[in-house]
A and B are shown apart, each in its own frame.
Chain A
Amino acid sequence: QVQLVQSGAEVKKPGASVKVSCKASGYTFTSYDINWVRQATGQGLEWMGWMNPNSGNTGYAQKFQGRVTMTRNTSISTAYMELSSLRSEDTAVYYCARFRRAVDAFDIWGQGTMVTVSS
């Protein structure tokens, strides 16, 4: 079935970087944009950016520009989100989500990856 499977939980120190993976299966990886959304504990959803897996083109929310990098490896149908210069406020669950143009929305989501930033 169509699914996105993310990498496991991470614990990082302030100032470090984290790289989260998102493996797609059940569909053609290069045909759908991947977006990243994060959610701090008890808070709402915050969009971080998107990537076109075919071209590698990306677009980032202004808040994260300069700190986030979205990449992909098409040979293994996997997208990556790397966030640098981590601070405690980056502690959150990070989701990847597939954008389906036919519905103008995110129709498939990964299970989420908990990233904890703590000294």
Chain B
Amino acid sequence: EIVLTQSPATLSLSPGERATLSCRASQSVSSYLAWYQQKPGQAPRLLIYDASNRATGIPARFSGSGSGTDFTLTISSLEPEDFAVYYCQQRSNWPLWTFGQGTKVEIK
């Protein structure tokens, strides 16, 4: 089973700052990596698929990069609504899916 490790566990930033979230896979997942955002009491929402493609309706301040084992989600300038938990997900071993443990982006 491929394990996804996200870092940091918590990121404390102010609105307007840049957020950089990391997701590392225990073995290569090629570019089969997605990112989701989850706010309290809500279902996750797809942000990025195939490592670097924004899902429909996702603002341009969200970007994804990486391939193989190292991936990054960047939020260029944090808006108040971006404070949430972010999860990465891989599907390299389809149909088995795994998620990272999440990174919480909180207001500093």
Contacts and interface: CB of A to CB of B under 8 A. Distances in A.
B53 A103 contact: yes
B49 A104 contact: yes
A35 B44 CA distance: 13
A95 B99 CA distance: 14
A110 B43 contact: yes
Contacts, number: 60
A59 B32 contact: no
A13 to B, nearest CB: 26
Nearest to B35: A105
Interface of A: 35, 37, 44-47, 50, 59, 61, 95, 97, 103-107, 109-112
19 contacts: A45-B36, A45-B44, A45-B87, A45-B99, A47-B97, A47-B99, A59-B95, A61-B96, A104-B32, A104-B49, A105-B34, A105-B50, A105-B89, A105-B91, A106-B34, A106-B89, A107-B55, A107-B56, A110-B43
